[in-house]
Structure 1
Amino acid sequence: MKPLRLAATASLSLTGVVLLVPILNHLLTGPLPLGIVLGVVGVLVSLGLVAVGVVVYRLDVSQTNAVRIAGWNFLGIVVLGAVFTLLFTYRPVEDAGFLFAVALSAGAVAHVIIGVYDVRRIRAEELATERERLAVLNTLVRHNLRHEAQRLLFAVEQVRDANPETAAEVEAVADDLTEINENVHAVEEAFDAEPYDVDVAATCRSVVEDAREEYDVDVALTAPETATARAGEHLQDAVSELVENAVEHGGDDPTIEIDVVVDGETVDVTVTDDGPGIPESERELVTGERSITQLEHGSGLGLWLVRWIVEEYDGTVSFGESERGGAAVTLTLQRA
């Protein structure tokens, strides 16, 4: 718990509670119809302030941004409070406390809304800067990975005849670096792409054909003739990654199945196998249940690639266990 963030968001709710008291007191005195209307409006606005404090806290905004929103709220109270104090001092009116509370509650809400949009603007600018930095970093990383992979492949040719086993190991490392480079590129492209209507069934049939050619394995596919969802070209990369994982960890003769199910407003793609399954620690890292550290960072980009691609299409990824004891990974996409 962050005390400063809690205090800042609590101040929003406290504003609503404080302003609610004189408004309710006025309503209980039986005012004229117009006074009742103003009182009801004031009650709703004040309760809205109470709710806003809770909502802002649950949004888990940073302490700085929470304080910024609370500052806008405070500014609204101070400015409008000073104006109405001078106004009612200059010309006293009946039920000044009630009118004062209604006006302040409306002003506070307006300034909180300004504060929220201010925070969103700042966050958008921060995200743009972070994205620019990541783009540069991705370019450098991909260039270095490609360069180092080429160096390793060149070295393989120098030692292949003298030491074929070492050459095979080095070539495998070069292939891994090349795959990482391709995965980074796929993620970068997925982030820049807008979802469109994709035939998920056709995509999975293409994955099955590629797996047969590349790994010489038969992947069972159960799917309707068509199953259209909001996705993109990199959906095939995500499904292929799951199939590749199943091949790598499934032994000499893995059993792999892909099921495509149209369920109401979603299209589900489930890849199952009979391998050892995905370790719980790995799943927790990818789903965000456990933080990444230098000691716990997962075994590679594969599952992260799957998650990032699917989330860019406003979908979700869930992990389970297949009937054969292996992994069962489900990609849930919005039906087109």
Structure 2
Amino acid sequence: MRSLFNTADWNAAATDLFEREFSTVVGEDLPSILPDTFDIKELLAGGQTTCRLPGSDRVLEASSSRITDSDDRTLGYTLIFRDITDSRQNARRAEVLSRVLRHNIRNRVDVATAYLRQLSDDPGPDTADKIATTVDGELSALRDLGGTAREIESVLQANKRAGDRSVEDLIRHAIEEVQHAQVVDDRHECAGDVSSVPVVIDTPPVETRANGEILIPVIRELVSDAVEHGGSAPEPRVSVRVKESSDTEGVDQWWIDVADSGAGISDHEVEVFEDAEEQPLQHGKGLGLWLVWWGVDRLGGEVSFDTDSGTTVTVELPGSLLSYD
């Protein structure tokens, strides 16, 4: 007699999801096919359950329905698995954006309001000029925050891949968008004004298939943060280096390091991003590093921080996005 748990059908989506071909599962006992993270009894009891694929960050929602005959006798079950990883990630991102925006808007509006109220106490021209400068700064910061939020939306909607483009060209393009950053040769100082921060690029002659609409904002935010917090003149220096690791079949993975000589990113900031989510009482300073985190994730990579000496942020990307001239 055929067991109710024997697999009778297995569609193409199941093949992709569980990485098992139909020919290897048909007739097999269901518990031997599904990962151990699935509770078969709970699954067949009805309703919906969620579980995580072993060795993966993919989350599945599973549901079942009975197949019966005319006498309501159980002949089998239909199981439906839905990958809800992306929808969960989108929900978490929306929550982070909401919290960061609320936190920053509330704080900056409070500061601007407090300064504006001072006008009634001291309406003199000197005070008015100081207040106008402060309020303008707070409003500018809010405009920048809104711009970053819009750019995050664009990054998350962009295709992962695009046409091949020089990695060095992408890096230079990103640095050009950073105020006070100036690309220099490793042996020379800035030729610009004293406020310029030298940025050294060290990359092999390689091209990448990574979409510049994602990678350029990621590098720009990292360089901008390094320039802003990279120490006091005349010592500040930022480097952007690209290195790759290869095996016998080609490039396995590659890294972009953005390093500065400053005091280092705070432990609080690192904890926020290593947790990959905002807690109600734990906020990053803005959205820039979230753009980095989510942009790199969109490319299938990871971000790590080293704060032992200055700050080095490492972006690890899959080798499939790299090609040589």
TM score, norm. by length of structure 1: 0.58
The residue aligned with 1:311 is 297
Residues 235 and 299 from structure 1, CA distance in 2 versus in 1: closer, same or farther, beyond 3 angstroms? same
The residue aligned with 1:231 is 211
Identity percentage over the alignment?
Answer: 24
The residue aligned with 1:326 is 310
Deviations 1:20-41 (A, max 9, x none): xxxxxxxxxxxxxxxxxxxxx8
Return 5+ residue gaps in structure 2 as ranges: 7-23, 52-60, 182-194, 246-250
Deviations 1:156-183 (A, max 9, x none): xx99963444443333322321221111
Q: Which of residues 64, 71, 80 is equivalent to 1:71?
A: 64
Distance 1:223 1:160 in 2: 55
User: What is the identity, as a one-letter code, of the residue corresponding to 2:272?
Assistant: L
RMSD: 4.7
Deviates more, 1:163-172 or 1:270-279: 163-172
Work out which of the two has the higher radius of gyration on C-alpha atoms and give 1 or 2.
Answer: 1
The residue aligned with 1:192 is 157
The residue aligned with 1:170 is 135
The residue aligned with 2:10 is none
User: What is the identity, as a one-letter code, of the residue corresponding to 1:162?
Assistant: D
Give the conservation status (yes or no) of the 8 Å contact 1:194–1:232. Answer: no
Distance 1:309 1:281 in 2: 21
The residue aligned with 2:273 is 286
Distance 1:64 1:319 in 2: 38
Distance 1:161 1:259 in 2: 50
Count of paired positions: 252
Distance 1:160 1:265 in 2: 65
The offset of 1:233, in angstroms, is: 1.8
Deviations 1:117-146 (A, max 9, x none): xx44xx59977x979x99xx8xx99xx99x
The offset of 1:256, in angstroms, is: 1.1
Distance 1:292 1:124 in 2: 18
Give the conservation status (yes or no) of the 8 Å contact 2:238–2:261. Answer: yes
User: What is the identity, as a one-letter code, of the residue corresponding to 2:242?
Assistant: V
The residue aligned with 1:218 is 198
Distance 2:174 2:26 in 1: 59
Give the conservation status (yes or no) of the 8 Å contact 1:200–1:226. Answer: yes
Deviations 1:250-302 (A, max 9, x none): 2323221110123323332110112222233322321326x532211222112
Q: Which of residues 200, 207, 223 is equivalent to 1:243?
A: 223
Return 5+ residue gaps in structure 1 as ranges: 1-14, 20-40, 86-103
Give the conservation status (yes or no) of the 8 Å contact 2:170–2:212. Answer: no
The offset of 1:303, in angstroms, is: 1.1
Give the conservation status (yes or no) of the 8 Å contact 1:211–1:218. Answer: no
The residue aligned with 1:183 is 148
User: What is the identity, as a one-letter code, of the residue corresponding to 1:272?
Assistant: A
Distance 1:200 1:221 in 2: 10
Higher helix share: 1
Residues 231 and 265 from structure 1, CA distance in 2 versus in 1: closer, same or farther, beyond 3 angstroms? farther
Q: Which of residues 243, 254, 259 is equivalent to 1:261?
A: 243
The residue aligned with 2:281 is 295
